[in-house]
Amino acid sequence: MNVAIIGATGYGGAELIRLLQQHPDVTIQSCHSSSQHGSETVDSYPHLQAVAGMELKPIVTEEIARDADLVFTATPSGVSSELVPELIKAGTRVIDLSGDFRLNDTEQYEAWYNKKAPNAAVLDNAVYGLTEWLDTDLTKAQLVANPGCYPTAALLGLAPLVKRQLIDPNTIIIDAKTGVSGAGRNATTVTHFTEMNDNLKIYKVHEHQHTPEIEQVLSDWSSHAGAVTFSTHLVPMTRGIMTTIYTDAPEGMTTEKLVALYKESYKDCYFVRIREQGTYPSTKEVYGSNFCDVSLAYDERTNRIMIVSVIDNLVKGAAGQAVQNMNRMFGLDEKTGLAFAPVYP
Ligand SMILES: NC(=O)C1=CN([C@@H]2O[C@H](COP(=O)(O)OP(=O)(O)OC[C@H]3O[C@@H](n4cnc5c(N)ncnc54)[C@H](OP(=O)(O)O)[C@@H]3O)[C@@H](O)[C@H]2O)C=CC1
Ligand SMILES: CC(=O)N[C@@H](CCC(=O)OP(=O)(O)O)C(=O)O
């Protein structure tokens, strides 16, 4: 396949290049930037020597669509909503990494993102690409909305219990932490070194844009699902997300039953690894990889379940899941180009 990457100078774009340059079925046709066209990809990211000589091109959607079988838009929310309809109209397929095509309800999108909603017809055709729980055949999909990083970690952690209607979804509390690369390459007063280093911050309290995305999927899975409590924290590390999820337990629950349920639910899912009872994952154990590691613990004192899930925000939370979705779109084994171990330490 010939693929193009728009937003190639950002962290998500750079990770797409890293993954795709070693994918056996992919040729990176072109990389695009709105502000740095004319320079080379390696000028932005010298570690990507494998694509040395590749000039960043401007964003001309008809030309990109003409030459590429698939376009990745690794662009900010509000930018993707403009670019993607043009690319689709010009006849190519798209995987969008932003939040623009994830929410079915345009009013919710405008309320949480504070931006104009995307074209309704294009939105209607978008498939939400939480790869392990897709109920659509992606080989026919024209547009895949790649899930957000936090929703990926939280929903993979919750799916077996919610989909089997084993818990009351209204008791769910998701306590989440992320590394700073989640905020993209440009430093802000929240993310620059002196603000973030040696510090732990809670942010976007009760207003995180991933809240309606998590709730939308939970409501698809359970008619009882309503609002969730979701908190987000910035941790002084580069990559990684950990979600610690709490929910009331049904009668007769044990940790053994939870581990067995999750192992059964994910037995065909290479990228979701269920930990043995009494062991808990850390973000470094999935660093740079497309894995999501999940642990379960039942607390009989409180009758609550604790689920811990970790991902690399830039891989399973962004570029890796996008490549997994690309593999599904083109009928390839979903592991192709992604079955490498995490980097440790
Ligand atoms: N970082 C993460 O962990 C995750 C990110 N995402 C989402 O993926 C997308 C990319 O994120 P990330 O790579 O981290 O962000 P970055 O800020 O690192 O990169 C954003 C990219 O978008 C391009 N861009 C900015 N403005 C415009 C514009 N007006 N028109 C065209 N291109 C533009 C920038 O490049 P240039 O100025 O050169 O055009 C840059 O390449 C975002 O929507 C983000 O929310 C999703 C999951 C996780
Ligand atoms: C640290 C940090 O700021 N992380 C970002 C991650 C979200 C993101 O990447 O945006 P999408 O909505 O496109 O998924 C945040 O919390 O908003």
Task: State if residue 232 touches ligand 2 by the CB under 6 angstroms criterion.
Answer: yes
* Interval 167-209: pLDDT, tens: 999 999 999 999 999 999 999 999 999 999 999 999 999 999 9
Domains, the chain: 2-124 (3.40.50.720), 150-313 (3.30.360.10)
Confirm if 213 and 146 have CB atoms less than 8 A apart. Answer: no
The atom of ligand 2 lying closest to the CA of 149 is 14
Q: Which helix (H) or strand (E) holds 72?
A: strand 70-73
In angstroms, what is the span from residue 149 Cα to ligand 2's centroid?
Answer: 7
In angstroms, rounded to a whole number, what is the distance separating the alpha carbons of residues 7 and 30? 11
pLDDT tens per residue, the chain (345 residues)? 999 999 999 999 999 999 999 999 999 999 999 999 999 999 999 999 989 899 999 999 999 999 999 999 999 999 999 999 999 999 999 999 999 999 999 999 999 999 999 999 999 999 999 999 999 999 999 999 999 999 999 999 999 999 999 999 999 999 999 999 999 999 999 999 999 999 999 999 999 999 999 999 999 999 999 999 999 999 999 999 999 999 999 999 999 999 999 999 999 999 999 999 999 999 999 999 999 999 999 999 999 999 999 999 999 999 999 999 999 999 999 999 999 999 999
182 lines ligand 2 (CB under 6 A): yes
Q: Please say whether the beta carbons of 150 and 204 come within 8 A.
A: no
Say if CB 135 and CB 163 are below 8 A apart. no
DSSP of 136-205: S-GGG-SEEEPPPHHHHHHHHHHHHHHHTT-S-GGG-EEEEEE-GGGG-SS--TTTSHHHHTT--EEEST
| CA 56 to ligand 1 center in whole angstroms | 15
Q: Give 209 Cα–ligand 2 centroid separation in angstroms.
A: 8
307: its two tokens: 């689920």
- Using N-to-C axis directions, what is the helix angle for 255-265 and 149-163, rounded to 10°? 110
Q: Where are the alpha helices (DSSP H) in the chain?
A: 11-20, 41-44, 61-67, 80-89, 106-113, 120-124, 149-163, 193-196, 211-221, 255-265, 320-329
Task: Collect all residues with Cβ–Cβ distance below 8 Å to 181 and sequence separation of at least 6.
Answer: 11, 238, 239, 313, 314
Establish how many alpha carbons lie within 13 A of residue 248's alpha carbon, considering only the half-sphere containing its beta carbon.
9
Whether 149 is catalytic is: yes
